Chains A and B, each alone.
Chain A
């Protein structure tokens, strides 16, 4: 009963607000959504070009491989990130065991590790010709084919690499969800006879499901967009196929068709995610927040918990970071010079400013959705969020074409009318770079801000409004303090993502502008792993601070603690 009246009152207030704001907010959102969809739409427009016999060639030869490999990769990384992310999130939020305090933040560290770097590093170590297998052969006298050793550069290897660096998305959101759960449900489940395991499986997990699926969809979108790892491992998936078709076969229309299929994958993911959210509208009925009950693990079970949290940390961070560190010890004297400091600063500055912009835009979109409750706005925000799954290079090309068109059209007009050339105003500037970043990473900030906003119930708005707060006051006095955690999360994830971003930076950047990722990748792809380690390690080091801040923000985001 209470739920119904609350909803209908909410509807009335929402309706009134929307009347006031619809005048500019809705067109504003639609316009912004359109602008940030231009790159994806540009690529989609290639579908209209004739693709000749190349498409048929793809269908005859490689398309099935691309489909199967992409599906297996997505499935594998999905299972990998889910099992690691959820397990660790549960253990660190509701269980008590030695080392937990450390794991809470350390488990986020792999987030700072670019996937291609970890792929290069592990290949260097565990490849047939690498030190580990060579040592095995030296000890045993075995040769090629005499023993089994898992192949790093394989589909399985790619699944492991991507799972190791992407599980933090699931961990991050799942842990936040577990922490937000009202103490009542857990306590009730315990009084009804659940043990630690069944109260997790039957109560906490279903309640956290929307958050877990949100984290999972981020991880999977990142998987579908990955190019560095899959191309190094020689896997035929959609991203590698798109490049090959576009540049090797010189057919942009057939490449766009592949990209369209990739986007179909993504839309399916998004639909699944929305569906799961709609189905799972659980709301806590009380506000009794206090210290969550902790399951005290001892002896063998504590050991298992410890190992379960240690493994992803070990393989996702400690091991590759130590290898990088060893290489860097050899090479840093040559690699660190004045330009290195410059490019570190570039990277940080670019990351920070993009993160701020991404969060401001996300607030604009998310509030629009909340206040306007219009289907059109919902749909357009969804479209903006697809950019995350599109490979950076594709986005970059989608940015180059419209910006260059704009610049050249303006230039031609100005030459005609005033005989002055305006040249390239936007192309080849940091504006173009940041625009591409925003197209790719808005999904992340929107996701995070929306989840924060969802915590603030409409009844709080109504209470504030009925007590005389204007909308702006409600925003700053009620929402901002409650949203702090989510906003910080959005800032930090976008920052870390931008630092790792490579393909769009490479192609869109202005002259003489380098970032850490560019430096690391150029050297690594030139098969100079040791030389690339200093820059790679610096990415990780700069990423560390945000990651630690991030864990603090989650810890303090729990109401009542």
Chain B
């Protein structure tokens, strides 16, 4: 059985990436329409893939396989689509379209940026769909290289600094991952994920080489995910990158790395590995728990808005990694939901912050004083998404956290449940601070001009929506619409838990057989 959809999902964006450059020779603004067309095609393909898997009734039909070049599996490279990867592919394509619509007026507008954008999308989809460990490394490198370049596409020197820091640490992470894969290859002679699963079961999970391989892969991917002690590249990269790029990479790059860790942990090493190596399991839980608490604390201490969101990601990804260590089906369901939810929420928050920063130059929390009156829709979007991030129902934020905490309680790790609760409180402190500043603090008279205070009065009498569009003359309407739609989606997805369980059940059935 061979499914062409999978090959198209990876290759279409990669090939489409040449056209912004090619047409850029003739037309100044060729990049955006091409990138949008490419993303829409990919969204269609990802939707079809998810639908095909969702509607496939038999157990075997829910795992689509494409053997590259027709070579059979353990020898050749195969692309695999199941419920889990289809979900991530759908997230990647939807966020790509949203970010592209957002980027139309704000840039970075060069054709090369859109080439990079499409390449990054192809790399992320490749990471999501590949069934081969070395192929995963190749796509990890593609994603890394493009991300460094996109972070540096801001004009400031700090962006270059952030990108360089990310380059050093990201390359170390990818290398560690490669060492781990090399150990596995040495011991088993295979790179195919499912084949490795069978071979590792024969060899035994307590062999030092296998343990070392997992250790290297874990640390390498944790660097890419940005879990606490290894997160240092991430706040700089997210803060100094252009707003569009911050939104895109914060929503997808770490997410896909976390997906890869979930995939390798449960599809290659399996739950038996964790059961046989209690020390490794405990270490994963411990490191991730520290990441949750420290990430939340650091986020609460920041004054710069993009840094708050960046450190908040450190905490959220701690929760996802902790779910891997918990070895519980419920917790893993929560982790996957949180992966998707966090992607949507962070994209919304960074895009909202981007609007406020380009409209009012507001980059710190204190700059946000009273902005809710001047741009009610964007502020509303940030507030709703912020509350979703805290985990106020109804939102997708509560779903993920709830299932992770529930899984922790089920497997007897009360401490993890308590840590998640503490982190929720800490998240509430920084989100509440943002919302309070937006809605209840008066605009600072010192740094506002008289014209600004006049316009505030103007807003007070005018219609809200008109005021939002009318005042932010420099902000295109579609940017606000994107933020609003995404913010609503984080709430609407609260109702989607059955959809998630149905898509993920066959996959988890394999993981926890």
A interacts with B: no
